[in-house]
Amino acid sequence: GQQVQQSPASLVLQEGENAELQCNFSSTATQLQWFYQSPGGSLVSLLSNPSGTKHTGRLTSTTVTKERRSSLHISSSQTTDSGTYLCAMDQGGRALIFGTGTTVSVSP
Amino acid sequence: ETAVFQTPNYHVTQVGNEVSFNCKQTLGHDTMYWYKQDSKKLLKIMFSYNNKQLIVNETVPRRFSPQSSDKAHLNLRIKSVEPEDSAVYLCASSSTGPDTQYFGPGTRLLVL
């Protein structure tokens, strides 16, 4: 079936360091979305990026559709970036299929 | 304020009871979803609802049923809860097609 794999499973950073999160998906995606889930549980959409490169603040997402992969780059990490980052794909207007997430912990 | 709203935030109940969760979106979207996030934090789709068309994930037990009065509301009813139903239930909405989905804050259910 359709699968979304994320790596690494967890990441520990010192404040100020950069991070690169990876997402690989098993079939062609018409939508690729990155989410942040806080330790409290709320889910926030960071970027929708089915192809190419998109930026928002300190975040950059690059999706190579034909290679079925996407990355999320966090630059100059801050303690408030701690939480879980989820990648999700959609195959054409249907529901999102989520990866298992990367848990990021940023220490001061 | 335009967003996705869910009530209640948290609900504790006993095995066999019926529960109902509410979801409302003020984003003008025409598709709504219910997802379940289990204890391992994995998010899985339960239902999507668009223009009165319901798409059901075949793994969802029959005791779960979505209820919609209009395209801005999609409630979730669980007829007779079981311990494995303890989870966070997240509602989302989007426009038709492969569009960005926006999520509500979730309802945490604990079944004793």
Domains along chain B with CATH numbers: 4-105 (2.60.40.10)
Q: Is B105 on the interface with A (CB under 8 A)?
A: yes
Residue of A nearest to B30 (CA): A93
Instruction: Write out pLDDT tens, residues A55-66.
Output: 999 999 999 988
Higher pLDDT, A28 or A45: A45
Among the listed residues B3, B34, B31, the one whose alpha carbon sits nearest the alpha carbon of residue B96: B31
CA-wise closest residue to B91 among B64, B73, B71, B65: B73
Check which CATH number belongs to the domain holding A70 and give it: 2.60.40.10
Segment B46-66 shows an average pLDDT of 86
* CB distance B93 to B102 below 8 Å: yes
Average pLDDT in the B31-37 region? 93
Q: How confident is the model at residue B56 (pLDDT cuts 50, 70, 90)?
A: confident
Helix (H, G, I), strand (E, B) or coil at B83: helix
- Cβ-Cβ contacts under 8 Å, A42 against chain B: 103, 105-106
Mutate to test the interface with B, among A28, A32, A42, A43 (most CBs of B within 10 A): A43
Instruction: Give the model's pLDDT for residue A93.
Output: 59
Q: Which residue in B has a C-alpha nearest to residue A84's C-alpha?
A: B41
Residue A1's pLDDT is 61
Residues 6+ apart with CB under 8 A from A57: none
User: Using CA atoms, how far apart are residues B6 and A25, in angstroms rounded to an integer?
Assistant: 30
Residue A67 lies in domain: 4-107
Average pLDDT over residues B51-60: 80
Structural domain total, chain A = 1
- Which of B42, B105, B108 is closest, CB to CB, to A98? B42
> B33: nearest CA in chain A?
A95
Taking residues A12-19, report their average pLDDT: 97
Q: A42 in contact with B at a CB cutoff of 8 Å?
A: yes
Tell me whether residues A95 and B45 touch, CB distance under 8 A. yes
Q: Which pLDDT belongs to residue B17?
A: 97
